[in-house]
């Protein structure tokens, strides 16, 4: 573990120690070991993403010959035909075309379809020779000025292949009421055998080593897209994605990562470029060069801003270090911060949703009134707002957070909700302007944090039953941080967000056993923020 920061694993270990003190699904082979025949030309499924009122991005991967396996650089250039229809039988094709792909893009296909109707469900498929892909379904966004009564999104993050099976995805695939699935990062993990999770592996990664090269990342993406639950979810709903760190390497910053050693693993910039290239080849996401932060609108009801909190950030500060207040350090980069603030202030949509891969809400030990303690903290070299230990999150970039939250307060921006992943646990929180004086200091937004699809959390690391050792830790976190409304450190699963003119509500669902491909999924809890309040409260009625 790097001495420069506390990452999510540090949180899990530390809170786990505190708690103790107080108390294969089968899949197609992938990577260099895959062998394809004519019957499995589309063995990685189909996907759609980034829905617009008049269009959507479509994706697939063709395996035209047995040697054209992911990451190999082998195989011919081929033509692939795509079709979009108003019906699943393709009796009413509304758009079609032909694209070429080859080894230079790992035989992936991305088509940005335009000319579609707003708020409409479509079927799509691909064809190569006599082979048809599975049929996918997608949905365009409402027209920008359309009055929308309701939106529903699946919300997920942190899916580690080695840690379990993706039954959380199966649950969302079976729901017919979602407008899109929001994936908030760590879609895949870079580790080889013996990496996170520690001490066990449900199913091994391919390639059987840490991903470092373009071929490695291509093979890793390919392996994840052989998971039957993930394939089914991609085929059922459009995705809206952003990355966190594991798409490249753990605890990444602009010029390096905790899980990268230049002396043995080469130049980090080359690794990052390879990982990003594979990501853009294999994911249904629009990008402008390497830029992934972007904004999607869903009628007058909501606008969704997706952030990139890895590519431009400064290196993480040490825990309890006053460097977190340095205005020259940034998590967003200056250009992205201006884009974010201007978009939130100028938005004409009612709900401003922000997809952030790491938590905005402070988790301080203890939170202090910044105005009163600032001079003393500066003298002692401590953080102004209290002990920041999770410095990979926005806590480690307090100046940027103050800029963002102050802009919301000064411009009277209403109905802002941060949607977050990364931390392998469930949280619901008010986002205070000053955590040290909350609730006297106003809340300027709400935050809902989804838990992991499979990645280890407290009970997994401690090898104890869920809802035992973590309970007093959760109570302690909420006692010290009064803006936290709920913390649950043990469970895995998907979440569903509903947005209406009256409020925004997140429902959490938990797996019975992440190591079982057919694990049951049960409803756990709901929290809601009413329009105009910025205050999160428990809801006793699930949205489904």
Tell me the mean pLDDT in the region 297-308.
98
Q: Is 18 part of any domain?
A: yes
pLDDT at 32 > cutoff 50: no
pLDDT at 148 > cutoff 80: yes
374: confidence class by pLDDT, cuts 50, 70, 90? low
Q: Is 189 part of any domain?
A: no
Whether residue 521 contacts residue 509, with contact meaning beta carbons closer than 8 Å, is answered with: yes
Tell me the mean pLDDT in the region 511-525.
97
How many folded domains does the chain comprise? 2
Q: Is 30 part of any domain?
A: no
pLDDT reported for residue 540:
95
Are 150 and 49 part of one and the same domain?
Answer: no
pLDDT reported for residue 30:
40
Q: Is 513 part of any domain?
A: yes
* Residue 24: how many other CB atoms lie within 10 Å: 11
- The whole domain housing 421 covers 8-23+146-158+168-176+292-539
Q: Is 237 part of any domain?
A: no
Sign of CA dihedral 110, 111, 116, 121: negative
Are 456 and 351 part of one and the same domain?
Answer: yes
Q: Is 273 part of any domain?
A: no
The three state secondary structure string of 80-105 is: EEEEEECCCCCCCEEEEEEEEECHHH
Tell me the mean pLDDT in the region 412-420.
98
Crossing angle of helices 228-236 and 167-174, in 10° steps, is 30
pLDDT at 20 > cutoff 60: no
3-class state of residue 384 by DSSP: coil
The pairing of strands 239-241 and 180-183 is parallel
Q: Which among 196, 187, 205 has a CA at the least distance from the CA of 275?
A: 187
Are 84 and 19 part of one and the same domain?
Answer: no
DSSP assignment string, 124-156: EEEEETTEEPPPEEEEPPPPTT---S-EEEEEE
The pairing of strands 416-420 and 443-449 is parallel
Cis before 194 (ω within 30): no
Q: Is 186 part of any domain?
A: no
DSSP assignment string, 303-357: EEEEP--SSSPPPPPPTT-GGGG-TT--SS-HHHHHHHHHHHHH--SSEEEEEES
Are 439 and 355 part of one and the same domain?
Answer: yes
Rounded distance, CA 63 to CA 142, Å? Answer: 35
Q: What angle do CA 75, 77, 79 make, to 5 degrees?
A: 130
pTM above 0.75, yes or no: yes
């Amino acid at each position: 573990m790097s001495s420069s920061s506390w990452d999510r694993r540090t949180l899990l270990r530390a809170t786990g120690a505190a708690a103790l003190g107080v108390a294969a699904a089968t899949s197609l082979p992938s990577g260099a070991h895959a062998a394809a025949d004519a019957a499995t030309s589309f063995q990685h499924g189909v996907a759609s993403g980034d829905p617009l009122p008049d269009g959507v991005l479509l994706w697939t991967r063709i395996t035209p010959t047995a040697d054209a396996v992911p990451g190999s650089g082998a195989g011919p250039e081929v033509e692939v035909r795509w079709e979009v229809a108003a019906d699943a039988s393709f009796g009413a094709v509304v758009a079609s075309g032909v694209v070429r792909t080859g080894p230079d893009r790992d035989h992936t296909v991305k088509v940005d379809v335009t000319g579609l109707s707003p708020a409409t469900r479509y079927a799509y498929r691909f064809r190569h020779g006599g082979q048809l892909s599975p049929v996918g379904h997608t949905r365009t966004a409402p027209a920008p000025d359309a009055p929308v009564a309701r939106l529903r999104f699946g919300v997920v993050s942190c899916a580690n292949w080695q840690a379990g099976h993706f039954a959380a995805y199966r649950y969302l695939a079976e729901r017919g009421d979602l407008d899109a699935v929001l994936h908030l990062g760590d879609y895949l993990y870079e580790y080889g055998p013996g990496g996170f999770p520690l001490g066990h592996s449900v199913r091994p990664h391919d390639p059987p080593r840490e991903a470092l090269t373009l071929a490695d990342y291509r093979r890793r993406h390919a392996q994840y897209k052989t998971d039957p639950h993930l394939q089914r979810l991609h085929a059922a709903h459009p995705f809206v994605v952003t990355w966190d760190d594991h798409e490249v390497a753990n605890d990444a910053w602009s010029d390096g990562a905790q899980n990268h050693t230049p002396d043995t693993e080469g130049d980090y910039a080359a690794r990052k470029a390879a990982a990003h290239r594979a990501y853009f080849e294999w994911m249904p996401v629009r990008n402008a060069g390497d830029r992934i932060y972007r904004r999607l609108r869903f009628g007058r009801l909501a606008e969704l801003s997706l952030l990139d909190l890895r590519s431009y950030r400064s290196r993480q500060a040490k825990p309890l270090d006053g460097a977190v207040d340095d205005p020259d350090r940034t998590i967003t980069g200056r250009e992205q911060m201006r884009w974010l603030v201007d978009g939130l202030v100028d938005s004409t949509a009612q709900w401003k949703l922000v997809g952030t891969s790491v938590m905005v809400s402070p988790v301080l030990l203890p939170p202090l009134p910044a105005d009163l303690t600032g001079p003393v903290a500066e003298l002692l070299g401590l953080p102004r707002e209290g002990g920041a230990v999770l410095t990979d999150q926005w806590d480690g970039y307090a100046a940027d957070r103050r800029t963002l939250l102050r802009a919301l307060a000064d411009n009277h921006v209403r109905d802002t909700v941060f949607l977050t992943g990364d931390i392998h646990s469930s949280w619901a929180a008010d986002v205070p302007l000053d955590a040290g004086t909350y609730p006297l200091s106003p809340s300027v937004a709400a935050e809902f944090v989804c838990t992991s699809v499979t990645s280890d959390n407290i009970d997994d690391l401690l090898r104890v039953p869920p809802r035992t050792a973590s309970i007093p830790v959760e109570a302690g976190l909420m006692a010290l941080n009064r803006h936290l409304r709920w913390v649950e450190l043990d469970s895995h699963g998907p979440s569903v967000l509903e947005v209406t003119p009256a409020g925004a509500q997140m429902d959490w669902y938990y797996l019975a056993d992440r190591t079982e491909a057919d694990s049951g999924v049960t409803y756990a809890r709901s929290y809601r923020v009413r329009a105009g309040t910025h205050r999160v409260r428990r809801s006793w009625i699930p949205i489904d």
